[in-house]
Amino acid sequence: MKSSNFSKALEELIRQDDRYTEEAYHFVREGLDFTIKLMAKPPEGPGRHVSGKELLDGIRKFALQEYGPLAKTVLNKWGIRECSDVGEMVFSMVEKGILGKTEDDEKTDFSDGFDFDDAFRKPFLPNEDPDRNREEPIPDTDKDAPGNLADPSSPSPQA
């Protein structure tokens, strides 16, 4: 969808349902792109499909990467308080033609996701077992960004 069409559809969507902010919809859209990049074998072509479960997992990782310990606070400020909110937003975007879906996709695909406290608070809480909340590292999806730690040729930050 072209940027201007996306903006118009988003404005109309928010006018009709103001539960979620514009930032929330942009976050979900960026979270979808992030999820596609994370997939071991990304779907091919413009009709690529990501399941609700895959999208929730990608959005969780994206939020942690982007906002760290503030992820839950930021998402809550935008109106995203639980996984079902992501489903509501996705299906609203489907209705506006921003996103597509298959016959098998349902809003309920997002209702059995994860608990926001477990996902966004626990990884940052001190505990007795340092490996208990540890997750696999989130792969760097923007290896060409300046100052990227994964790029040894990037200039070192000055102290």
Considering the domain boundaries, does residue 152 fall inside one?
Answer: no
Per-residue pLDDT at 149 exceeds 50 = no
Q: Which domain holds residue 62?
A: 22-124
The predicted pLDDT at position 148 comes to 42
pLDDT digits (tens, 9 = 90+) for 121-137: 999 998 755 555 556 66
Considering the domain boundaries, does residue 86 fall inside one?
Answer: yes
Considering the domain boundaries, does residue 96 fall inside one?
Answer: yes
What pTM did the predictor assign? 0.74
pLDDT averaged over every residue in the chain: 83
b/e sequence 91-113, b meaning 16+ C-beta within 10 Å: bbbeebebbeeeeebeeebbeeb
Considering the domain boundaries, does residue 93 fall inside one?
Answer: yes
Considering the domain boundaries, does residue 75 fall inside one?
Answer: yes
Q: Tell me how many domains the chain contains.
A: 1
Q: By the 8 A CB rule, do 107 and 88 touch?
A: yes
Considering the domain boundaries, does residue 61 fall inside one?
Answer: yes
Considering the domain boundaries, does residue 12 fall inside one?
Answer: no
